[in-house]
Amino acid sequence: MESRRFLITGGSKGIGESLVRLARTFGHQVVFTGRNEERMNSLAAETGAHALRADVASAEDNVKTVEFATEKMGGIDVLINNAAVAYGAAIGEIDMEKLRAQYDVNMFGLIDLTNRVVPAMKRQGSGDIVNIASTSGLKGHANGTAYSGSKWALRGITQCWQAELRPHDIRVMCVCPSEVQTGFNEGVKGDNPKKLVADDIAGSIMGCLSMHPRGFIPEFAVFATNPW
């Protein structure tokens, strides 16, 4: 894959951090966003990627993100919508403010940022958009109304974007990781070497992006072979 310009949200840890590292290893330009400035500055210094402290739930920050990426790289070829938060509660006990805050990141902010990136991709006649969903978006589970619901929605939105953007040679892919040892969810401990790690997901995504532009993988899930 020739050198391309990546914008990665939620890039300070986990899958996002692995994507930043791998993209830079392959010689791509990278801008990444996040909210942990200390981790971001360290990753930027180590990899040569460009870091911007930004919250995808903020429309103002999304404007700055696109401007920053355009200034640093001259444009965006690959947008990876990785930033997300998790909130779990049983129906009858859901805190609606926490649910709305989750959707501000997982859905509304993601849509807002993509909405700002797509016009330039259309003008250049190419691009890749990668939406990081979850296997929680393939099968519902107890206490999953908020998180699982947001990931089901993301899968549907991805399909809408595929229908709209394929005529412009823009590929849109949805990735559904199973449980990954990233620290994303405090209930997931990193003490089981049989479970997936962030590099597994990052490598799968980069492999799909390396396909010839005439083809793409609309959606795929990644499970650990034997995590028990």
Residue 147 falls in the annotated catalytic set: yes
Q: Which of 81, 65, 84 is nearest to 73 (CA)?
A: 65
Catalytic residue, chosen from 6, 147, 161, 184, is 147
Where is 94: in which H helix or E strand? none
Strands of the 170-177 sheet, one edge to the other: 50-53, 29-34, 5-8, 78-81, 127-132, 170-177, 219-222
Q: How many CA atoms lie within 13 A of 65 on its CB side?
A: 34
DSSP-derived secondary structure for 133-180: --GGGTS--TTBHHHHHHHHHHHHHHHHHHHHHGGGTEEEEEEEE-SE
- Catalytic residues, which ones? 147
